[in-house]
Copies of this chain bind each other. A is one copy, B any other.
Amino acid sequence: MGDDTVKYLLPENRIPRAWYNVMADLPEPMAPVLHPGTGRPVGPDDLAPLFPMACIAQEMATEREIEIPEPVREIYKQWRPSPLYRARRLEKALDTPARIYYKYEGVSPSGSHKPNTAVAQAFYNKEEGVKRLTTETGAGQWGSSLAFAGHIFGLEVDVYMVKVSYVQKPYRRALMETYGARCVPSPSTETAAGRAILEADPDSNGALGIAISEAVEMAAQRDDTRYSLGSVLNHVLLHQTVTGLEALEQMDMAGDQPDVVIGCAGGGSNFAGLASPFVGRKIAGQMSPRIVAVEPAACPTLTRGRFAYDFGDTAHLTPLVKMHTLGASFMPPGFHAGGLRYHGMGPIVSHLLHLGLIEAVSHHQLGCFEAGVLFARAEGIVPAPESTHAVKETVDEALRCKAEGRSRAILFNLSGHGHFDMQAYTDFFDGRLQDRDYDQTALDRSLAALPDVAAAE
């Protein structure tokens, strides 16, 4: 490998054969998921109406390595292993001694890391005789990924898309339809949850929590239908570890090791996908990188939320999970990174922060878009609005290296491209974007309304 390599590529036979389950290595076990009615830990049967048994088993698995089924690896070959880039032109543009690497997940069919789990979930559902999947989508990355994966395995896919995104992102919807999925603006009249919201507010713009309620309700109603979630849950984060496992090998190819690992975090899946294998090495004492989750200042789950039991959705249909949360009724102000607007955070990511194995920071959107444009002009790739949060923290870290006159290796997850989000860049250029803060009073209120789960706390 020459000194001036830009892309570190692995052949298809180096797609990992197993996902890495960080739960096997945690110094302190995670809190159990609780049944909302009984307050007792849920068992597989409680989750069976929603998820295939294979995913439920993974949700609670304690083995370190979980085999990736061959048919899933076969589909992964369409875009995996994804490239690891050395950002040589960005380094030059910043005039930094830092060595910047990024794992690029935008090479997938739908343009983000989401198909890593969509393909696995579609496969397990197909294996267990499921005919139809329901899900929600905000920005649209997840919905289009499940649409793609569902079609591959011959499953029908119904996507409840947050109404404001449905209207603002017609091309995301077009992508889902190109893959053969049905896309429904949420709140809809198809579900009791949707009808209740519409009765209270016929002009509701929708929210991810509402769309989740709708998708869960539809899945629970039919025997041949299951629900599919694109982030937050343990099995979802597990499927994303292909990115970190490949990156470990690619950093070896580069003859380097990261001093800092960075990812943006909404529900936590692209962050945990890249970070978990490095967390594992950290726990094992094999390396000691700082590992940083970056979230929007307008929806600061890790930096301003509470580590507590909460519902995953607005209608309180899901089990209770212990996570960093702003409260299920929290509504962030408008900003252009739909994938980072969720009120909660994956329990694994929350637990890792609680244990001090990772850190969290937040950034406002204007700085993130500035960093995104800087990145695009240097590296060519236009980052998704979500991914610009990781770019921003990376640029800041590289400038700190410059100020300190020290070289550090920075690795970040460029979780997706912004091709379907160019309206955000247009708004940025036209001066229509502002940095908006969350409403502290509303946050206090939604935190005060957290469910009382005395027994388990």
Contact = CB atoms under 8 A, between A and B. Distances in A.
A422 B419 CA distance: 11
Nearest to A425: B174
A376 B144 CA distance: 12
B380 A148 contact: yes
Contact of A13 (B2, B380, B417): B2
Interface stretch (A175-183, A306-314, A339-347): A175-183
A5 B12 contact: yes
Interface string A63-94: 00000000000100111000000000100000
Given A6-B12, A171-B422, A178 B77 contact: no
A107 interface: yes
Given A178-B382, A180-B377, A6 B78 contact: yes
Contacts of A152: 89
A174 B425 CA distance: 7
A78 B174 contact: no
A380 B2 contact: no
A111 interface: yes
Interface string A379-405: 111100000000000000000000000
A173 B111 CA distance: 20
A122 interface: no
A39 B306 CA distance: 80
Given A419-B419, A422-B171, A377 B179 contact: yes
B175 A422 contact: yes
Which size class do A's interface residues fall under?
A: 35 or more
Contacts of A376: 178-179
Contacts of A380: 78-79, 108-110, 115, 148
Given A6-B77, A178-B377, A171 B423 contact: yes
A264 interface: no
Which of A7, A170, A379, A425 gathers most chain B CB within 10 Å?
A7
A426 interface: yes
A286 to B, nearest CB: 28
Given A174-B422, A419-B419, A9 B11 contact: yes
A78 B379 contact: yes
A170 B426 contact: yes
A373 B377 CA distance: 32
B178 A373 contact: yes
Nearest to A369: B178
Nearest to A373: B178
A126 interface: no
Nearest to A429: B177
A148 to B, nearest CB: 6
Interface string A307-339: 000000000000000000000000000000000
A151 interface: yes
A420 interface: yes
Interface string A102-123: 0000011111000100000000
Interface string A155-181: 000000000000000110111011110
Contacts of A419: 111, 171, 417, 419-420
Nearest to A11: B9
A9 B107 CA distance: 14
Which of A74, A382, A425 gathers most chain B CB within 10 Å?
A382
A171 B426 CA distance: 8
Contacts of A78: 6-7, 89, 379-380
Given A9-B9, A174-B425, A178-B425, 12 more contacts: A2-B12, A2-B13, A6-B77, A7-B78, A79-B380, A109-B380, A171-B422, A174-B422, A174-B426, A177-B425, A177-B429, A419-B419
17 contacts: A6-B77, A78-B89, A79-B380, A108-B380, A109-B379, A109-B381, A115-B380, A148-B380, A171-B422, A171-B423, A174-B425, A175-B422, A177-B429, A178-B376, A178-B422, A417-B419, A419-B419
